[in-house]
Chains A and B, each alone.
Chain A
């Protein structure tokens, strides 16, 4: 059906088919800015992990000036004519070890990047007398320093002296090391220096911060002995330079992610699952994305409602009630209730607007049949001093009003038959005074 093209009588607006350029750009920006925000978030999240890939920033890195870096010791060695050869992967390290036979190899692998097979390769290429291990873990000890066992973590505390059993000249020269890192044990064949206090009680004997094996492998129990932060403390400089400065070269091997075997390791959950699970999961994520786009799209912009001011009328009364309550104005509240009751009673009992309280009491006791003293006590609220008294006074006033109304109704019905007309006339005459405002 084609609508007749007659223009309707009412107001008619026509949309411009193409809005002007400024508007179009602004609208494009409004629509696209969420993507810019998402991209910025992605970059912010990815940036730290990208930066962390910097090899120089790794612990004991020869170029790292951070507290845990190794630049200070590497520079000092360099100044003494000892060439430092950093290696970040096993092939590199093996090549360097072959090029410089006799050069000590510093090995530090806190993340455990190097698997056991690679350690075996390294052990074959590097003789035990060349190895300098910094804070080695169990796997590294098994591979590169057989005969050395772990002794636990060394608590922070006073510097450790070289100890009685120590005959290793470097340790004797160093005299003491600061406490921290790990401790180790080796058999009587090797040298054990810097005993950790409090470890001698166990069956396996005391643990030591630095040990050397009979073959000459040096195990340094604390990274700070070589790192920038602790290189100048205690006898660390002596220890590190003595052990690393034996030759004209030193190989500085810090295993990195490149050493992690791609296919090695124990079977993971990933390998046990059927091979379609991964692509299907990926596809379901994509389906979820489609679902979000489907359900999340609005049909045009939100409509704006200019909201009106909403002020509940009784708000001020409630606020005033809270003020009374917070400042403990029990008597004032009771007087307000009393005044309202007196005004209402005066109106119900057809007394004038300026009737004194005594007249109201008398009339109320007549109408309700209550004792005048009781009416007076209900209206006497000046000594109300607590919440309980206030509630009681409010209830008493309410009861008094109810009684008076009941009494008035009873008398009204009693004389209903006789003086109905005069009653209505009186009520009519009283109407204006009913409407009259009364102040207590």
Chain B
């Protein structure tokens, strides 16, 4: 049962007879009138129980991309249902009614035996699976004084995919890839080490790439073109352990890692390499391979959408096994993790030799710009201590990166917005140098 402001107005109006004719009997009569009005309205209201509710909602959307959430409401009872309906989406689904009010109930008017479509907009603010457990229907009586309210358990769910904001870095990197490939009309020697073809010299070509023997055979000057190796394997290992839960610039390190791996995967698959992705902490959380059917990026975002950081330490001893399972020959293994010294010493360092022996390893980590901000404040004792601790942390990260370098590991340690392009550049550099 729901009461409205109209009933309150009626009750206040009944104050007049109570004042004019004081006495407990007047109070009793007024109360009876109030109860009768509310009761009649309740009885006359259409039953919200006899309503069929169906959802019409896409299965997935990207983060921050609005999506229409429609409810199909069929009034099976014999009365016109006037009231409102509220879909109980969790707050981070960002439900907006047509009026633009957040999480407001939507007005509803369904004649007997008919069906209406109620639409709200969802603007998801969190990656993952968003849920709505129930839909609540409120049905007002003809006087609008009292309403009946019933909550129908109609579960709804929406998979919110990673936004892939680093997509904007993709065109420039693809252009670099084409340059390396020799496909773009730039006057540089093609990157890579694999001999591609001979072609006529055009002005501006690097004279070092002139193939003199071919030139001697023909009358024209001929140059060699080169291209990078193709069909290499890139294995991306995404660490979803507790170190990935830390937030840098209000974004979990895991989300930055997902962005970086999406950009790298898009670039590598465009470069003709095969991409394998494994998200792992103590067990494998997601696994995607470019050898399967369908768009790689789509499968990656779908697989990574529900992955959240766990509060467990990563089990790095699994990683060589997982890598060996997906890639037998020499591959580029990209570990998206944290350069946190303690976690590194205990977990990653012991297993790194097993990886570096067979593969080229890149460790990509999210650097914290907050540390350098901390290191700058030195005006009193507390901030001086903080600066010292921040400097110590930066030095330790550098030491850890140096230690990894000594093992032959490339280290990419950048703040969140720079990590995806930096990792893509590292890939291009390695590919151009023929180190894949």
Residues of A within 8 A of B (CB): 2-3, 5, 8, 10-19, 27, 274-276, 278-280, 282-284, 286-287, 290-291, 293-294, 297, 299-306, 308-318, 320-322, 324-325, 332-334, 336-337, 339-340, 343, 387-388, 390-391, 394-395, 398, 436-440
B229 to chain A: closest CB distance in Å? 24
Which residues 389-417 in B have Cβ within 8 Å of A in the complex? 389-395, 397-402, 405, 411
User: Chain A residues with Cβ under 8 A from B34's Cβ?
Assistant: 286, 290
Task: Report the bound CA distance from A394 to B50 in whole Å.
Answer: 74
Q: When the two chains form their complex, are residues A337 and B395 in contact, meaning their CB atoms are under 8 A apart?
A: no
Task: Report the bound CA distance from A274 to B19 in whole Å.
Answer: 10
The answer to whether B378 has its CB under 8 Å from any CB of chain A is: yes
Interface contacts beyond A10-B56, A293-B3, A297-B149: sample of 11 additional A-B pairs, CB < 8 Å, sorted by A: A15-B152, A276-B19, A279-B18, A287-B11, A302-B88, A313-B370, A318-B386, A321-B389, A390-B385, A437-B399, A438-B398
Q: When the two chains form their complex, are residues B374 and A336 in contact, meaning their CB atoms are under 8 A apart?
A: no
User: Chain A residues with Cβ under 8 A from B242's Cβ?
Assistant: 311
Task: Report the bound CA distance from A155 to B170 in whole Å.
Answer: 95
B388 partner, pick from A16, A27, A300, A333, beta carbons under 8 A: A333
Task: Report the bound CA distance from A423 to B123 in whole Å.
Answer: 51
Q: When the two chains form their complex, are residues B311 and A309 in contact, meaning their CB atoms are under 8 A apart?
A: yes
A135 to chain B: closest CB distance in Å? 40
A184 to chain B: closest CB distance in Å? 47
Task: Report the bound CA distance from A325 to B381 in whole Å.
Answer: 8
Given contacts A317-B374, A394-B387, A436-B402, contact A325 B52 (CB under 8 A): no
Q: When the two chains form their complex, are residues B385 and A312 in contact, meaning their CB atoms are under 8 A apart?
A: no
Q: When the two chains form their complex, are residues B402 and A437 in contact, meaning their CB atoms are under 8 A apart?
A: yes
Q: When the two chains form their complex, are residues A19 and B153 in contact, meaning their CB atoms are under 8 A apart?
A: yes
Considering only CB atoms, which chain A residue lies closest to B380 in the complex?
A391
Q: When the two chains form their complex, are residues A279 and B386 in contact, meaning their CB atoms are under 8 A apart?
A: no
User: Chain B residues with Cβ under 8 A from A14's Cβ?
Assistant: 52-54, 154
Task: Report the bound CA distance from A313 to B367 in whole Å.
Answer: 9
Task: Report the bound CA distance from A333 to B366 in whole Å.
Answer: 25
Task: Report the bound CA distance from A3 to B368 in whole Å.
Answer: 53
B149 to chain A: closest CB distance in Å? 7
B405 to chain A: closest CB distance in Å? 7
The answer to whether B58 has its CB under 8 Å from any CB of chain A is: yes
Given contacts A312-B246, A439-B402, contact A301 B133 (CB under 8 A): yes
Considering only CB atoms, which chain B residue lies closest to A314 in the complex?
B370
Q: When the two chains form their complex, are residues B22 and A278 in contact, meaning their CB atoms are under 8 A apart?
A: yes
The answer to whether B155 has its CB under 8 Å from any CB of chain A is: yes
Considering only CB atoms, which chain B residue lies closest to A391 in the complex?
B384
Given contacts A280-B15, A337-B391, A391-B381, contact A2 B114 (CB under 8 A): yes
Q: When the two chains form their complex, are residues A303 and B311 in contact, meaning their CB atoms are under 8 A apart?
A: no
Given contacts A286-B31, A314-B371, contact A11 B59 (CB under 8 A): yes
Given contacts A12-B56, A438-B402, contact A321 B154 (CB under 8 A): no
Q: When the two chains form their complex, are residues B84 and A299 in contact, meaning their CB atoms are under 8 A apart?
A: yes
The answer to whether B292 has its CB under 8 Å from any CB of chain A is: no
Considering only CB atoms, which chain B residue lies closest to A310 in the complex?
B247
The answer to whether B86 has its CB under 8 Å from any CB of chain A is: yes
Which residues 120-157 in B have Cβ within 8 Å of A in the complex? 126, 132-136, 138, 149, 151-156
Task: Report the bound CA distance from A16 to B103 in whole Å.
Answer: 24
Closest 6 CB pairs of A and B: A300-B136, A437-B398, A333-B388, A340-B391, A387-B381, A276-B22
Q: When the two chains form their complex, are residues A290 and B11 in contact, meaning their CB atoms are under 8 A apart?
A: yes
Which residues 358-378 in B have Cβ within 8 Å of A in the complex? 366, 368, 370-371, 374-375, 378
Given contacts A300-B136, A314-B374, A439-B399, contact A337 B7 (CB under 8 A): no
Task: Report the bound CA distance from A286 to B30 in whole Å.
Answer: 11
Q: When the two chains form their complex, are residues B391 and A339 in contact, meaning their CB atoms are under 8 A apart?
A: yes
Q: Which of the candidate stretches B89-97, B161-169, B188-196, B297-305 sits at the interface with the other chain?
A: B89-97
Q: When the two chains form their complex, are residues A313 and B248 in contact, meaning their CB atoms are under 8 A apart?
A: yes
User: Chain B residues with Cβ under 8 A from A5's Cβ?
Assistant: 115
Q: When the two chains form their complex, are residues B309 and A309 in contact, meaning their CB atoms are under 8 A apart?
A: yes
A339 partner, pick from B12, B22, B136, B395, beta carbons under 8 A: B395
A272 to chain B: closest CB distance in Å? 15
The answer to whether B344 has its CB under 8 Å from any CB of chain A is: no
Q: When the two chains form their complex, are residues A313 and B247 in contact, meaning their CB atoms are under 8 A apart?
A: yes
A–B Cβ pairs within 8 angstroms, 6 of them: A14-B52, A275-B22, A300-B88, A318-B386, A387-B381, A390-B381
Q: When the two chains form their complex, are residues B389 and A324 in contact, meaning their CB atoms are under 8 A apart?
A: yes
User: Chain B residues with Cβ under 8 A from A309's Cβ?
Assistant: 245, 309, 311
User: Chain A residues with Cβ under 8 A from B70's Cβ?
Assistant: 8
Q: When the two chains form their complex, are residues A290 and B389 in contact, meaning their CB atoms are under 8 A apart?
A: no
The answer to whether B308 has its CB under 8 Å from any CB of chain A is: yes
A386 to chain B: closest CB distance in Å? 9
Task: Report the bound CA distance from A280 to B311 in whole Å.
Answer: 61
B19 partner, pick from A280, A336, A388, beta carbons under 8 A: A280
